[in-house]
């Protein structure tokens, strides 16, 4: 593991990042439509998405996004090795986890927050697997799934982004995530770690970055240009 | 303590706990998918009021009752009757006509948990007029789940979903023909159970016990790492008759397995495979 070098205020400590995990519920598909088509070929990270879906139907996400994305898009399969620059969607009615390898793993454990797949399940296992080499993004949604998971990613030193609640058609999910962190002004990237926080998390921001969908897309492009994604 | 150190210690504790369980109780979870197991162990910590897996290990080794409780956390799976109706529809339309050609039929439900799938298959075979000449082996490693499966008792509030699945699975009868409801629960007909044998069997440590025509093992392999998946699939291959059938969960596949070459796709979209001729 590289010790984190000194970095500019808008450059994160971790990175290059090996994966981006994205979670969302109602209202998130429109945001994905802003984010995912902008992800460039040659992305160094894998992209893994959990979206709450009706359980008893085949998911159309792959059909919708494959023609719009530059990255290869597929539905996650159990035991599949995770490849950089590929985009994976959780299948309906299964939890999606990151296992050693790293590989994708599925489970039919009980729904969490009435959801299967659950964003917390993906985010927490990804935080375990990737540590500070992970970007976590939580989007619009009507329940509080993902809040604990995003906090876990943050605690592991990952780079966290929450959709600006003002830009979300369902702000409950982003607000629930932000409620776990010190208050900040939406739209503003938080500053550097205050001096009274533990010194073992150099450069870690005290709270997630709060961004509009456009700004999240721009941030991905920027991190890619910095060779961090 | 840095987050990375904590995470590494948690991994070590998990490995040690699984070793302890194996040596003391002969249940082998060491080749299970560790990420799912970790979630279950974390919720067990709360249940047993332990701060760390090391504390839990101490209790598991010295208090057999704690192990019995932990086993519930590690193994119990809640499924629905006729989960993935299209799977049962494909069995009915594509596999049953071939099963019909055998004078007697043996089916193995591997990892039957609390029995939802066993009763589903029994009802399907009854509707197709095959149950009288069928024996269903239902196996699991969890003795409590097996006992529950043997009772054939389910909560009444789950039955509406079961009924809808059954209809979508091409059910030719009413599900209510097969159970009686009382005190918020339903009890399935004893006549179905006469065709079932419930038995303790581990895909991780036991071997083949019978020759069967159809194996249904759904959403069990996803809890195993690759090597253990291959072991289980090897057992299935050995247990199946010439050209026997294997049904897996809707998101499981033989694609990443060493056993893929020994099976043909039969109804691929419903994950039904058929043992290749020869061998």
Domain boundaries, chain A: 19-192+201-225
Residue B252 DSSP SS3: coil
Residue B257 DSSP SS3: coil
- Which is nearest to A122 in space by CA: A141, A133, A138? A138
Q: Which of B3, B41, B75, B250 to mutate to test the interface with A (most CBs of A within 10 A)?
A: B3
DSSP state of B206: -
Is B33 in contact with A107 (Cβ distance < 8 A)? yes
Q: Are A216 and A137 in contact (CB under 8 A)?
A: yes
pLDDT band for position B3 (cuts 50, 70, 90): confident
CB nearest to B252's CB, from A78, A100, A110: A78
pLDDT band for position A218 (cuts 50, 70, 90): very high
Determine the pLDDT at residue A124.
97
Is B2 in contact with A200 (Cβ distance < 8 A)? yes
- Which tokens belong to A89? 């969607």
Phi, psi of B171 (to 5 degrees): -50, 135
- Taking the C-alpha atoms of residue A99 and residue B69, their distance in angstroms, rounded to an integer, is 25
Is A109 in contact with B33 (Cβ distance < 8 A)? no
Determine the pLDDT at residue A14.
61
Determine the pLDDT at residue A13.
53
Is A108 in contact with B219 (Cβ distance < 8 A)? yes
Taking only the tens place, the pLDDT of each residue in A27-60 is: 999 999 999 999 999 999 999 999 998 777 778 9
- Which is nearest to A147 in space by CA: A125, A168, A182, A123? A123
Q: Is A7 a catalytic residue?
A: no
Using CB atoms and an 8 Å cut-off, which of residues 13-52 of chain B contact chain A? 33-36, 38-40
Task: Tell me if chain B has a CB within 8 Å of the CB of A97.
Answer: yes
Is B251 in contact with A94 (Cβ distance < 8 A)? yes
Task: Tell me if chain B has a CB within 8 Å of the CB of A96.
Answer: no
Is A107 in contact with B223 (Cβ distance < 8 A)? yes
Taking only the tens place, the pLDDT of each residue in A108-163 is: 999 999 999 999 999 999 999 999 999 999 999 999 999 999 999 999 999 999 99
Q: Which of A106, A134, A204 to mutate to test the interface with B (most CBs of B within 10 A)?
A: A106
Return the CATH number of the domain spanning residue range A19-192+201-225.
3.40.50.180
Task: Tell me if chain A has a CB within 8 Å of the CB of B5.
Answer: no
Q: Is A107 a catalytic residue?
A: no
- Percent of chain B residues topping a pLDDT of 70: 100
Is the predicted pLDDT of residue B220 greater than 80, yes or no? yes
Domain boundaries, chain B: 3-75, 85-275
- Taking the C-alpha atoms of residue A9 and residue A17, their distance in angstroms, rounded to an integer, is 18
Count contacts between A and B (CB, < 8 Å): 69
Task: Tell me if chain B has a CB within 8 Å of the CB of A144.
Answer: no
Rounded to a whole number of angstroms, the distance from the CA of A182 to the nearest CA of chain B is 20
Give yes or no for a cis peptide into A145 (omega within 30° of 0).
no
Determine the pLDDT at residue A8.
39
Q: In B, which residues are within 8 Å of A106 by CB distance?
A: 222, 251
pLDDT band for position A182 (cuts 50, 70, 90): confident
Q: What is the ipTM of this complex?
A: 0.89
Taking only the tens place, the pLDDT of each residue in A73-102 is: 999 999 899 999 999 999 999 999 999 889
- Taking the C-alpha atoms of residue A83 and residue A104, their distance in angstroms, rounded to an integer, is 10
Is B7 in contact with A106 (Cβ distance < 8 A)? no
Residue with tokens 């339309």: B93
- Taking the C-alpha atoms of residue B163 and residue B53, their distance in angstroms, rounded to an integer, is 41
- Taking the C-alpha atoms of residue A5 and residue A14, their distance in angstroms, rounded to an integer, is 9
pLDDT band for position A2 (cuts 50, 70, 90): very low
Residue with tokens 């009274």: A196
For range B93-105, the mean pLDDT: 98
Catalytic residue among A118, A120, A125, A145: A145
> Which pTM does this prediction carry?
0.88
Determine the pLDDT at residue B257.
85
Determine the pLDDT at residue A202.
41
CB nearest to B77's CB, from A80, A91, A108: A108
* A18-32, B137-151, B198-212, B245-259: segment of lowest average pLDDT: B245-259
Q: What is the 3-state secondary structure (H, E, C) of chain A?
A: CCCCCCCCCCCCCCCCCCEEEEEECCCHHHHHHHHHHHCCCCCCCEEEEEECCCCCCCCCHHHHHHHHCCCCEEECCCCCECCCCCEEECCCCCEEEEECCCEEEEECCCCECCECCCHHHHHHHHHHHHHHHEEEEECCCCCCCCHHHHHHHHHCCCEEEEECHHHCCCCHHHHHHHCCCCCCCCCCCCCCCCCCCCCCCCCCCCCCEEECHHHHHHHHHHHHHCCCC
Determine the pLDDT at residue B73.
87
For range B116-144, the mean pLDDT: 97
pLDDT band for position A225 (cuts 50, 70, 90): very high
Determine the pLDDT at residue A184.
59
Is the predicted pLDDT of residue B197 greater than 90, yes or no? yes
For range A194-214, the mean pLDDT: 66
Using CB atoms and an 8 Å cut-off, which of residues 219-258 of chain B contact chain A? 219, 221-223, 225-226, 229, 249, 251-253, 255-256
Task: Tell me if chain B has a CB within 8 Å of the CB of A128.
Answer: yes
Q: Is A52 a catalytic residue?
A: yes
For range B250-268, the mean pLDDT: 91
Determine the pLDDT at residue B256.
78
Determine the pLDDT at residue B279.
55
For range B14-35, the mean pLDDT: 96
Share the mean pLDDT of chain B: 95
Query: Quick one: fold of B85-275?
Result: Rossmann fold (3.40.50)
Determine the pLDDT at residue B77.
78
CB nearest to B35's CB, from A80, A98, A157: A98
Determine the pLDDT at residue A26.
93
Is B222 in contact with A109 (Cβ distance < 8 A)? no
Is the predicted pLDDT of residue A12 greater than 70, yes or no? no
């Amino acid at each position: 593991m590289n010790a984190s070098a000194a970095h500019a205020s808008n450059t994160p400590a971790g990175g290059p990042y090996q994966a981006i995990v994205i979670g969302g519920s109602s209202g998130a598909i429109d945001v994905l439509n802003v984010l995912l088509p902008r992800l460039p070929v040659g992305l160094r990270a894998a992209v893994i998405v959990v979206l709450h879906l009706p359980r008893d139907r085949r998911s159309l996400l792959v059909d919708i996004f494959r023609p719009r994305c530059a990255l290869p898009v597929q539905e996650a399969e159990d035991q599949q090795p995770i490849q950089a620059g590929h985009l994976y969607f959780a299948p309906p009615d299964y939890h999606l986890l990151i296992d050693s390898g790293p590989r994708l793993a599925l489970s039919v454990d009980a729904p969490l927050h009435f959801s299967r797949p659950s964003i917390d399940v993906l985010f927490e296992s990804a935080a375990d697997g990737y540590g500070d080499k992970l970007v976590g993004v939580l989007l619009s949604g009507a329940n509080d799934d993902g809040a604990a998971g995003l906090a876990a990613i943050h605690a592991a030193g990952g780079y966290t982004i929450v959709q600006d609640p003002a830009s979300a058609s369902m702000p409950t999910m982003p607000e629930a995530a932000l409620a776990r962190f010190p208050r900040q002004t939406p739209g503003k990237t938080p500053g550097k770690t205050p001096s009274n926080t533990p010194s073992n998390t150099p450069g870690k921001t005290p709270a997630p970055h709060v961004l509009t969908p456009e700004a999240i897309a721009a941030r991905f492009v920027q991190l890619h240009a910095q060779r961090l994604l | 303590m840095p987050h990375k150190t904590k995470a590494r210690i948690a991994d070590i504790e998990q490995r040690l706990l699984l070793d302890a369980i194996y040596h003391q109780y002969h249940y082998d979870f060491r080749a299970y998918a560790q990420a799912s197991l970790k979630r279950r162990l974390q919720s067990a910590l709360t249940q047993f009021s332990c701060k760390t897996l090391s504390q839990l290990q101490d209790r598991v080794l010295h208090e057999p009752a704690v192990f019995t409780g932990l086993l519930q956390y590690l193994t119990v799976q809640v499924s629905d009757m006729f989960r993935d109706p299209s799977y049962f529809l494909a069995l009915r339309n594509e596999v049953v006509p071939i099963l019909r050609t055998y004078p007697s039929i043996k089916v193995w439900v591997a990892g039957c948990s609390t029995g939802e799938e066993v009763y589903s298959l029994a009802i399907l075979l009854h509707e197709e007029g095959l149950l009288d000449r069928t024996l269903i082996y239902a196996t699991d490693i969890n003795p409590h789940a097996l006992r529950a499966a043997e009772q054939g008792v389910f909560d009444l509030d789950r039955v509406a979903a079961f009924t809808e699945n059954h209809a979508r699975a091409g059910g030719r009868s009413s599900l209510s023909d097969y159970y009686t409801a009382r005190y918020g629960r339903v009890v399935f007909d004893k006549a179905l159970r006469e065709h079932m044998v419930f038995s303790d069997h581990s895909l991780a440590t036991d071997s083949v016990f019978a020759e069967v025509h159809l194996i249904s093992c759904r959403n069990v392999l996803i809890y195993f790492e690759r090597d253990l998946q291959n072991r289980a699939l090897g057992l299935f291959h050995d247990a199946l008759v010439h050209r026997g059938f294997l049904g897996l969960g809707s998101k499981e596949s033989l694609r990443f397995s060493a056993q893929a070459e020994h099976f043909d796709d039969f109804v691929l979209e419903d994950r039904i495979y058929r043992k290749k001729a020869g061998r």
